[in-house]
Amino acid sequence: MGRRMQPIRNLDIIEDFKELLKQWELRNWLLFCVGISTGLRISDILPLRVRDVSGKYIELTEKKTKKYRKIIINKRLRSYFDHYLSEYDWLGPDDLLFKSQMGDFPISDVQAWRILKKIANELGLDDVGTHTMRKSFAYHFYQRTKDIGTLQEILNHSTPRMTMIYIGLVQENIDRAIMDFEM
């Protein structure tokens, strides 16, 4: 069976990831910051334009589910956008945040994967891809809030169990139970 993408569970590693991306290219740093701060899928992050992040919310229709999403831009996420847009102050409202160097379109999901994989390799991480951002958001949201119901809503999952499996809690609970069980 193929290996599944995993969340980055260690907050220090997330900070290292951000720092390496920022040193490489600010666009790539922002991509990761948006992913881990919103739980959006890569297909919903890449087409974002400046106007999409200029207000209080990011509003979009999810590509996968076709459902409307409205995500509040919290203080930290706002600071990420403000930093990026102050460095790239020539960007107008219609400009893409994650523009390809090849033309007026966003980078591809494959290119986004390559960007994240490069940094993951530098940090010695396996099982990292574009979905790692969404899973990391979900994992840490749950660790801080223990609110599986709200997380289920954020991720648009059909059941709480699906959300628990998604963030690896079911396997963690099984592992812990077996480690503590002796006969």
Locate all alpha helices (DSSP H) within 25-122, ordered by sequence. Answer: 26-38, 42-45, 75-87, 109-122
Locate all alpha helices (DSSP H) within 88-130, ordered by sequence. Answer: 109-122
Contacts with 115 (C-beta within 8 Å, 6 or more apart), sequence order: 21, 28, 31, 107
Q: What backbone torsions phi and psi does residue 177 show, to the nearest 5 degrees?
A: -65, -45
Enumerate the active-site residues. 41, 64, 131, 134, 157, 166
CA distance 160 to 146: 12
CA distance 36 to 53: 16
CA-based nearest residue to 144, from 9, 6, 42: 9
